[in-house]
A and B are shown apart, each in its own frame.
Chain A
Amino acid sequence: KAGVTQTPRYLIKTRGQQVTLSCSPISGHRSVSWYQQTPGQGLQFLFEYFSETQRNKGNFPGRFSGRQFSNSRSEMNVSTLELGDSALYLCASSLAGRSYEQYFGPGTRLTVT
C-alpha cells in the first residue's frame, strides 16, 4: 500500500499571501488529521476530517481551514500568511475507530518571508 503523500514538500510564500497544501491518505483511510510542527511546540493539532466532515478542531485562528473530498483526499488552506506560520505541516490518516494509529506523511515545509 502506498503511504500518505503530501504536496508540495517545500513552499516559500510571502506575508499576506495564501497557501493550499494537499494530502492523499492511505487507501481505505477515511480520517485525515492535520498538524503544525514547530521547534519547541511539538505537534499542534489543526483539525480532523472524516467522510468530508470536520469532526475535531484545534485552537488555531480562522485563517486556517481545510476540507476533505469524497475520495478522502484533503486540503488545508492558510490565508493572510504571517511569519509565525512558518512550520512543517503534517497530515496523518487512520482507519475509522483507530485514531491512535495514525500514519503520517513526510510533511510540507512552509516558509513565510
Chain B
Amino acid sequence: QQQVKQSPQSLIVQKGGISIINCAYENTAFDYFPWYQQFPGKGPALLIAIRPDVSEKKEGRFTISFNKSAKQFSLHIMDSQPGDSATYFCAARDAGGYQKVTFGIGTKLQVIP
C-alpha cells in the first residue's frame, strides 16, 4: 500500500517550461514533506522540504506548494533546464514513533532543448 502517491512517473518538458510533480498522502501524522533529486549514478539529494503549516516554499526555481485540506503537495520547477533532468522523489515523515520517512515512487523528468 503506497502511503505517498506520486504522479506522473515520467515527464517530458521543453526548456523554459514549468515542470509539475504531484504527491498525495493519507496519513495525517506526517509532519515534514521533503523532495529529493537524483541524477543517474548518484544517490538522491535533499532539494527542499516543507512543513504542513506552510502553504508554499520557494528555493530559486523550485517551489513546493502544500494543500493540507486536500492532503496534496506538489513541486514546481520554473524555467526548466536540461540540467534539471533527473528523478524526483517526494517523501513524508511520520511525526510519531521513530519518525520513519516514506518515499513516493519517483518521477523521471526529462527537459528537452
**A: which residues have CB within 8 A of B?**
4, 33, 35, 40-43, 45, 48, 50, 55-56, 90, 92, 97, 99-107
Q: What is the CA–CA distance of A101 and B36 in the complex, to the nearest angstrom?
A: 9
Chain B contacts for A48, CB-based, 8 A: 98, 100
Q: Is the interface of A mostly helix, strand, loop or mixed?
A: strand
Asked if A56 meets B91 with Cβ closer than 8 Å, knowing A101-B34, A104-B44, the reply is no
Q: Tell me the complex Cα distance, A101–B102, Å.
A: 12
A4 touching B100 by the CB < 8 A rule?
A: no
5 nearest A-B residue pairs (beta carbon) = A104-B43, A100-B32, A42-B105, A55-B98, A43-B103
The reply to whether B99 and A97 form a contact with Cβ atoms under 8 Å apart is yes
Give the CA-CA distance A97 to B98 in the complex, in Å.
9
A100-B91, A100-B93, A101-B49 are contacts. A42–B104 as well, Cβ < 8 Å? yes
Contact A99 B101 (CB under 8 A): yes
**CB distance A56 to B49 under 8 Å?**
no
A42 engages B100 (CB within 8 Å): no
Give Cα A90 to B44, complex, Å.
9
CB–CB B105/A41 < 8 A: yes
Q: Does B41 contact A (CB under 8 A)?
A: yes
